[in-house]
Amino acid sequence: MNSKIILGDVQAISELYSYPNIPGSTESLSDTVLHWFKQTLDRDGVSEHVQATVTLENDQVALELIGNDADADITQVIALYSERLPALLQIGQNALNNVIPQLHKVDKWDPENTGQWRFFLPLGQAMARQKSVQFFHYPPIRLLDPMRDYLNDPVPVRWEELLQINGVESEQSSWRYETVVDATPIAAPDDQGSKKVDKTKYKYGLIPIEYFSEYQIELTRLMLNPAPGNLDFTVPVVIYGAHPRSEFEHLFLEGTGQKLGINKTALAKIVPNRKTAVLATNHPYRFYAQAQIDDKHPETGYVGSGQIAPGHMRSAVNLMKDDLAAARWQVRMAADPSLDPQETMTECIEYWQQDAQLKTVCQLTLHQGSLYYPDPNALQFCFKVSMEEAQKICEETSLEVLLDR
């Protein structure tokens, strides 16, 4: 199947693709669009079966896709791209036209004048074969500049590992669980969503997610695939963090009597005539903060230090159990969204509370608790303790000794 998708004129596509992604870059607009779409092909697992090119003609940017007509699955994927990519861009255009000017007018666009706020759509993700949707707050600016990758960050990398421990076979497979809907299409520094602010002026830190209700509703609906084999349901949604949880509850659960809390579930009606299982859980970053931040010794106890702060192992393990249960729920509900969401969550919690799982929990805690930024200004990261090294430590050391570290 061949498809030519007219994306829009040069000015519109430049704005929608945050072009140039890195100020001063000489990359062409066509190459920028192709960069992000090739990531989508990778994350949908179809990069070997779909050829993509971007052309510019008469001020119009077009994406051309070529796939095997004999492959029904690829034909369907290309048809979904032809429908969803223009829809995503239109949703973004509406936000650019209607919301961003309003934020400037009321002085809620980059109110601290950091110079680091930029419009940024959730590009480069699975958008045809996704198995779940993840509802977050806003994208850190580094995902756009310099990473140019929505999933190259300690938060999604951490969650990918939790998904794999719960049965997802590889990093590549985990990408299909990680289609992100950020409540706000604004890339900004890490601290902008959690700053202590004047509550009479700012509802959710400095990030104005309450202004993007229409954007959130439309984008969530767009990305919710029907459940495989059961059209009464969509794929599930996992909501990370307190601010997204409050906004999601307001948009989709108001009047239903359902309230969300940490590792609490609900059934929402987001797509007409279908039900969506929903789970609210911790923001994955919370684990890094819990494990590494030491207010008494800030010179060594900070996120990215490469080590778990003294006395923090036990609380980090407890938080890890909660997050592993949430990831297990995500995998199980993606496989069968018609399962009872709260019963499934209870079973997932019980599974990760078993003594038999403690060594695995210990291993993951030591590994992910070793998050390290060799140069914080460069934004590169690694884990100083590998999974293999962590496994050896947990096998050779008493768990009680480890928990008291």
Encode pLDDT of 65-88 as tens digits: 999 877 889 999 999 999 999 999
What is residue 240's predicted lDDT score, i.e. its pLDDT? 98
Last residue of a domain, one of 83, 98, 113: 98
Q: Mark whether 131 and 236 lie in a shared domain.
A: yes
What is residue 194's predicted lDDT score, i.e. its pLDDT? 83
Q: Mark whether 109 and 71 lie in a shared domain.
A: no
What is residue 197's predicted lDDT score, i.e. its pLDDT? 76
Encode pLDDT of 178-233 as tens digits: 999 999 999 999 889 888 777 778 888 899 999 999 999 999 999 999 998 899 99
Amino acid of residue 233? F
Least confident segment among 59-63, 149-153, 217-221, 376-380: 376-380
Last residue of a domain, one of 98, 131, 146: 98
Q: Give per-residue burial for 258-296: e unless 16+ CB within 10 Å, then b.
A: eebeebbbbebebbeebbbbbbbbbbbbbbbebbbebee
Q: Mark whether 44 and 137 lie in a shared domain.
A: no
Q: Mark whether 111 and 74 lie in a shared domain.
A: no
Which two structure tokens, joined as six digits, stand for 382? 């690694």
* Average pLDDT score over residue span 371-383: 88
What is residue 375's predicted lDDT score, i.e. its pLDDT? 85
What is residue 195's predicted lDDT score, i.e. its pLDDT? 80
Q: Mark whether 133 and 282 lie in a shared domain.
A: yes
* Average pLDDT score over residue span 165-186: 97
Number of H helices, E strands in the chain: 14, 14
Q: Give per-residue burial for 1-39: e unless 16+ CB within 10 Å, then b.
A: beeebebbeeebbbbbbbbebeeeeeeebbebbbbbbeb
How does residue 365 score in pLDDT terms, banded at 50, 70 and 90? very high
Q: How far apart are the C-alpha atoms of 239 and 255, rounded to whole Å?
A: 19
Averaged confidence pLDDT in the chain: 96
pLDDT > 90? residue 379 = no
Q: Mark whether 91 and 179 lie in a shared domain.
A: no
Q: How far apart are the C-alpha atoms of 15 and 283, rounded to whole Å?
A: 29
The neighbour count for residue 371, using CB atoms within 10 Å, is 24
pLDDT > 80? residue 330 = yes
How does residue 271 score in pLDDT terms, banded at 50, 70 and 90? very high
8 A C-beta contact, residue 80 and residue 127: yes
8 A C-beta contact, residue 206 and residue 192: yes
What is residue 399's predicted lDDT score, i.e. its pLDDT? 79
Helix axes 285-292, 358-368, angle to 10 degrees: 80
Q: Which residue range(s) make up the domain with 272?
A: 99-403
Last residue of a domain, one of 63, 98, 133: 98
Helices within 17-66 (DSSP H only):
29-44
Q: Mark whether 140 and 211 lie in a shared domain.
A: yes
Q: Mark whether 71 and 132 lie in a shared domain.
A: no
Q: Mark whether 264 and 147 lie in a shared domain.
A: yes
How does residue 377 score in pLDDT terms, banded at 50, 70 and 90? confident
What is residue 283's predicted lDDT score, i.e. its pLDDT? 97
Query: Which one is predicted more confidently, 195 or 380?
Result: 380
What is residue 11's predicted lDDT score, i.e. its pLDDT? 98
Q: Mark whether 115 and 73 lie in a shared domain.
A: no
CA nearest 225: which of 17, 69, 83?
83
Question: What is the tally of structural domains in the chain?
Answer: 2
CA nearest 348: which of 333, 329, 334, 361?
329
Q: Mark whether 186 and 232 lie in a shared domain.
A: yes
Pairing relation of β-strands 133-136 and 237-240? parallel
pTM over 0.85: yes
Phi, then psi, of 298 in degrees rounded to 5: -65, -20
Radius of gyration for the chain, computed over Cα atoms and rounded to the nearest angstrom = 21
pLDDT > 90? residue 304 = yes
What is residue 344's predicted lDDT score, i.e. its pLDDT? 99
Q: Mark whether 78 and 106 lie in a shared domain.
A: no
What is residue 289's predicted lDDT score, i.e. its pLDDT? 97
What is residue 387's predicted lDDT score, i.e. its pLDDT? 97
Per-position DSSP letters for 360-385, written without gaps between them: HHHHHHHHHTTEE-SSTTTT--EESS
Phi, then psi, of 135 in degrees rounded to 5: -105, 110
Of all helices (H) and strands (E), which one includes residue 66? strand 60-67
